Amino acid sequence: MITVTEATATAGALRRLTDQGVSIWLDDLSRRRIESGNLAELVRTKNVVGVTTNPSIFQAAIGSGEGYEEQLADLATRGVTVDEAVRMMTTADVRAAADVLREVYDTTGGRDGRVSIEVDPRLAHDTRATVAEARQLAWLVDRPNVMIKIPATKAGLPAITEVVGAGISVNVTLIFSLERYREVMDAYLAGLERARAAGADLAGIHSVASFFVSRVDSEIDKRLTLLGTDEALALRGKAALANARLAYEAYEDVFAGDRFTALSGARANPQRPLWASTGVKDPAFRDTLYVEELVAPGTVNTMPEATLDAAADHGDVRGDTVTGGYAQARADLAAVERLGISYDEVVEQLEQEGVAKFEAAWDDLLAAVTKSLDSKGVDGE
């Protein structure tokens, strides 16, 4: 049981983060986390106001079997397919988490209190199937505070427009490049324009754009280390922050522009930047690096629990660390390019790897659920 004093002490840095206009979301979900009251406790004590999920998260949660035994037995008895079983379990978790966060959703006017669930990653390059899956997921979860995650692939862009145009809130995921990020914002605005033309209330449509951070450093720093020069080594840990800061500059530009101004008159909401992949992978760096150095108003930082705990314990939140750094960010990325490391090549590789990793996690999840259903005497195929 956490006392008021303990909660205040651990949440100090997180409270300062919130006060700076950063919404803290948890990048994790499991049935045990929901049923034990842990998620509700994080909302109470650590300023958590949203949840993101992805295929890897569900693979870890459901693959363990913990908390899913009764539902798996029921699904096996019904003889459902493995794909149906997975969707029934994942949407049940998201629905329950959305109920935990409903009060946050209500008090923030829908800005926060959101829980995200991703379309089947195997559909990442199929626009029509992505749209159909997004509609189905929104119907299955049946909560106003759900966000449907759509990957920022070329095929995903028109899907974003169509889904937003249908009045469904969207979390656009797997964004690595600045060019693709601008295409994502354009797709969102096109969706809002379509929704407005259909007579929808734009105030009820929200979106975030998940810009991935640590994976950029992981790939670029690997290449810098191979070069091994003093100049190259001095650039480690800088590219991801530079990329994210320039993304925020693009966000400011687009949502201060005439196109969004016309939509805001119809009560449209800006698509907030969400910093994803914020767990630090290099032990040489401070474990709160991607929290402390990406503080800016109107953003979301979705953190794995280890990063959330680290930020609560020793986070140094010293105000906005983004908006004054655009010139330096451009200089850092230019310095990387001068060393022969292609930005375009890296971000394209990361997008392809990101989709592939989620597909692999989904396949692993399907295999684990198939095994569970088979063990109960029912063919999961």
Q: What pLDDT, in 10s, does the model give residues 192-203?
A: 999 999 999 999
Model confidence over 116-131: pLDDT tens digits? 999 999 999 999 999 9
Runs of H (alpha helix) within 256-304: 258-264, 289-292
Residue with tokens 């006392």: 3
- Please give the Cα distance from 15 to 8 (Å, whole number): 9
Q: What are phi and psi of 267, to 5 degrees?
A: 70, 30
Q: What are phi and psi of 203, to 5 degrees?
A: -65, -25
Q: Confidence band (pLDDT; 50, 70, 90) for 378?
A: very low
Model confidence over 3-18: pLDDT tens digits? 334 444 445 999 999 9
Token representation of residue 274: 């969400």
Return the closest-CA partner of residue 294 out of 21, 15, 12. Answer: 21
As a whole number, the mean pLDDT across the chain is 94
Task: List the catalytic residues.
Answer: 149
pTM of the model: 0.94
Return the closest-CA partner of residue 316 out of 299, 293, 284, 300. Answer: 293
Residue with tokens 């363990």: 64
* pLDDT for res 2: 38
Q: Confidence band (pLDDT; 50, 70, 90) for 271?
A: very high
Return the closest-CA partner of residue 25 out of 301, 279, 309, 293. Answer: 301
